[in-house]
Chain A
């Protein structure tokens, strides 16, 4: 009796295992095939009613480059990303230091304040934010796009950096102070070198997130301040006006840009760190 139960359980567990792997592989294969569709379409001379395109060409890339002004769009994307990465580190890292090291009244409220922009989805606060930015004439400008993109990234840097700073021995700073260094010098000569790996990881994650941030850029950008992902949306929205392959070529450009940075980021961070935002 016991033996039969045990073998039944084992067979059940086996079937369960297989089912789980099948679901997971089914999901990944579909995502892969979706990406392959875009990739293949961007090189297709003509692809209608067949499994594979009739022929391959690279001309869609040059046509996408001129049709969608990809040069300008990429330059805007780069400006936005660099500014957001630099400013979010500049504002976020000192705040993370304060949260990790200092005690002050209202600390819990400040922590909650930094958590909120990551809990509320961008489209919800993006509309009132865009309203305010348009009111002060920053809407539709590069500065407006950068400011809007900083709203989720500053708290993100704080959240990544706070535990990182907590695990650095405070005695190192105390030793520097004994030798007469002020806070600024401790920061530059002791903390920044120690924090460099954490800042690098946080910056790379901010970079990937900013390139892919659609909602906030979409709501605040004007015609001259669109990043690549927003241009891609407009192109897909007006599908039919341009050749589908041209849009796919643009999508591939976007994929290469994000995935290249993701690949670099993954050398420094664990994949789960990219999503883990809230601890219970």
Chain B
């Protein structure tokens, strides 16, 4: 497509300000995101205020959500899965990524292996864990063989199965993200601290950790948001009618089992709102800590 072919009249922001001609190349992508991301969100928002039974008023879907424990209970159930999973994944990622911050063959090997569970995705992990953690699976056979348990323990079709799947799929993601932040910190800073007599622990506490915190806040948010939108493993590995009836299941049921799209949109909006709330909370906490260059030298 040539730039000149674009109709200038429909374009926003026709101002006397100079606009590089190449800027119009972004137009198809802007239109695409507006049409397939922003518009559906707006449409969903409006739809959520237009309940199927119009007589009940425009807030009926939200009123229904917060009156019915089958709906409002999903927030607590999802948080109860997503927060521990996020804390485990972030908590484990920091020391391990710190240990592996220096580029090496081992680092490349481990990062390559960790990309595999990310690539396979949650459906395959759920399917695999179903057998692996099941009563006949290797985990239970090993526990029985070691005499740690007398009978197979229940690891699937309950809370534990979903939490474990969130660790399997979430940890590699959090770790690689943390690693990319930690390798962005100039090691010269820590060398300076070492010259002044700081051991590994103090180098971490005084140099790396404060510089890592802003990145860690982002990693926390992304991990949390992913865990909060858990769906396939909550159905396959969990108890989708009980302990792991997460909010995405409620939204899916409303849309594709009850064909109540306004209600489904309301649930999706609430899900987005909780994710936004936690993200804003964590990222605003970030302002309290150091923000600035993570490079050494002339900065």
Contacts and interface: CB of A to CB of B under 8 A. Distances in A.
Interface string A81-106: 00000000001101101110111111
Interface of A: 9, 13, 16-17, 20, 23-24, 27-28, 30-31, 33-35, 37-38, 41, 47-49, 51, 91-92, 94-95, 97-99, 101-107, 110, 113-114, 116-117, 119-125, 127-132, 134, 147-148, 150-151, 154-155, 158, 182-184, 208, 212-215, 219, 229, 232-233, 236-237, 239, 244, 247-248, 251, 254-255, 258-259, 262, 266, 270-272, 274-278, 280
7 contacts: A27-B171, A47-B136, A105-B19, A147-B36, A183-B2, A259-B116, A275-B115
B171 A154 contact: no
B160 interface: no
Nearest to A261: B119
A272 B123 contact: no
Given A94-B28, A183-B3, A106 B13 contact: yes
A132 B43 contact: yes
Given A105-B17, A125-B41, A127-B251, A24 B110 contact: yes
B interface majority secondary structure? helix
A224 B206 CA distance: 57
B189 interface: no
Given A105-B19, A128-B44, A275-B177, A94 B116 contact: no
Contacts, number: 269
B206 to A, nearest CB: 16
Interface centre among A20, A125, A237, A280 (most CB of B within 10 A): A280
A92 B95 CA distance: 37
Nearest to B128: A34
A212 B118 CA distance: 9
B111 A271 contact: yes
B159 interface: no
